[in-house]
Structure 1
Amino acid sequence: MQPDWYPAWRDDAFKQLVAKNAQLEKDFRLGHWPRYDYDLTAGKLLFSEQGIVKVVTEVQVAGSTSAKAGYWLWAWANSNMPGELLEDAKRVRSFGEDNGIDELAHPYVTDAGDDLEALGWELAGTMVRVCEALGAYRSPRGAGGGLYLILKSIKWAS
């Protein structure tokens, strides 16, 4: 279930995410650093080159995809995620509950088009829009999935 306005709203959220991520690429070279590391305990995503951290971001976890399982799992429904990194995901869940949007309020989301990466980016874009985040980053995971992180702040490392 979803309200009539939601599909166009979600498409617009994805377009906004593409523009935000393009700006992050331009300003901070995201997507071009040879290495990244995330620390979910500290809520940080670090980009580095030759062992030197260049860019530091604060993150929240949106969710993850799994090709093996065939679905998106919202971070708020994943007991393996640290609670302090779920505040924004919980905001999205509340937004979904308040507006009757099942894919935001239910733990698992499947994709009729069978393109989990596209679904992950679309749902991450929804979270970026609801939470007014700076952008999103996808970290590849085993079994053809990805962990989607929402960027809350970003700066050059000192």
Structure 2
Amino acid sequence: MDDRPKHDHSGWETVVLAARERARSRQALMVERFGLSGDVQYDWSMDDALITWSRDGKVFLTGRLTMIGSVSVARQTWLWSWANESLPPAAVGDMERVRQFGEENGYPVLPWPDFTYDPELVAEARMVAASVLDAEGLWAESTNDVQLHFMVHDLVLAAEGQ
């Protein structure tokens, strides 16, 4: 039986609304500013928490990844990265701040290590996490029956000729 307090929507909806608007505008700006549409390829690594984008085999953009959390499709559960001991520290980044933000502001979904997967709640949690850590964008990757959710920071255009 789950004896954790139920998620209190008081104040949460306001925080989510602001985070959702921020994420939409930042995501659109990131895609437009850096040309992240069309025939763009990407490569990423959790070990060093980096992502690179390339076109025609030439890297044109690099960024830092922070893993927000993951969804086990088979178990229908969400697990925060700060609660996942198998992740490299570089990939977890400052996610502890997201957990603390939840504790300090009475948003229990943020300090719960895991919860039953609900697509809307996961979307809200991702956007609030991105807002707390001032991410430039959000990114997700699906492998097998796991969804990995990241935020992107510190985007830098690669020098010509790379």
Query: What stretches of structure 1 move > 4 A for 4+ residues in a row?
Result: none
Deviates more, 1:146-155 or 1:24-33: 24-33
Give 1:104 shift: 0.1
Q: 4, 10, 25: which one pairs with 2:16?
A: 10
CA deviation map 1:22-68 (0-9, x unaligned): 10110112354532111112110111223322210112111112221
Give 1:100 shift: 2.0
Aligned to 1:109: 115
The TM-score normalised by the length of structure 1 is 0.86
Give 1:11 shift: 2.5
CA deviation map 1:89-113 (0-9, x unaligned): 11000111112211100111324xx
Give 1:153 shift: 0.7
Give structure 1 stretches of 5+ with no counterpart. none
Aligned to 1:85: 91
Aligned to 1:123: 125
Of all paired residues, the percent bearing the same amino acid is: 25
Does the residue aligned with 1:27 lie in a helix, a strand or coil? Answer: helix
Aligned to 1:149: 150
The TM-score normalised by the length of structure 2 is 0.84
Instruction: Quote the Cα distance in structure 2 between the aligned partners of 1:42 and 1:75.
Output: 15
Cα RMSD between the aligned structures? 1.8
Larger radius of gyration: 2
1:38 aligns with 2:39: no
Contact 2:48 2:91 in 1 (8 A): no
Contact 1:3 1:99 in 2 (8 A): no
1:99 aligns with 2:69: no
Does the residue aligned with 1:30 lie in a helix, a strand or coil? Answer: coil
Give structure 2 stretches of 5+ with no counterpart. 1-6
